[in-house]
Amino acid sequence: MALKIKWNDDRVKGATTAILLIARARLARGKKDDLVRRSLADYREDPDGYKELKASNPDVRDLSPLTNPHHVAIYRNLLGAVDALLKKMEQNKRQSNSLLELDNYLVASLPDVG
């Protein structure tokens, strides 16, 4: 039986939240290359590290960890792109057949804002 991940599944929200939190942490460390793909890969490789990050700073809209104005602009662009993508997924009732398919869709759909 195929795994169906619907647009309103917690795994979609979890993956997009992870992208945002990990991307913000990466930007705070000055790492902005291939931000979406690497953030998602970090999340899949170390879900416990993500849980610690989420527990320590759960608000994805908080810009205080970022001190560089360029990084703040990159992160705001990413926030807007994620919000638009989630809205598009809801309108289209988007489904994925696996986590890999979901990840590929997220990476392909979110712009490289770095």
Tokens of 74: 């990159």
Across all residues in the chain, what is the average pLDDT? 91
Decide if pLDDT at 114 tops 90: no
pTM of the model: 0.91
Measured from the Cβ of residue 10, the count of other Cβ atoms closer than 10 Å reads 8
What's residue 81's pLDDT? 96
- Please check whether residue 114 lies inside any domain of the structure: no
Contact present, 97 and 3 (Cβ < 8 Å):
yes
Is residue 78, in this structure, part of any structural domain at all?
yes
User: Is 90 a residue whose pLDDT tops 50?
Assistant: yes
The Cα–Cα gap between 7 and 109 comes to: 14
Q: Is residue 49 part of a domain?
A: yes
Assess if residue 65 is contained within a domain.
yes
**Helical residues (DSSP H) of 1-114, grouped into ranges:** 10-28, 35-45, 47-56, 69-92, 99-109
Cα(100)–Cα(80) distance, rounded to whole angstroms? 23
Number of domains the chain is built from? 1
**Phi and psi torsions of 95, nearest 5°:** -130, 150
1 pLDDT more than 50: no
Domain that holds residue 46: 5-109
The answer to whether position 51 is within a domain reads yes
Residue 42 lies in a domain: yes
Helices 10-28 and 99-109: crossing angle in degrees, nearest 10, is 50
Taking only the tens place, the pLDDT of each residue in 3-41 is: 789 999 999 999 999 999 999 999 999 998 899 999 999
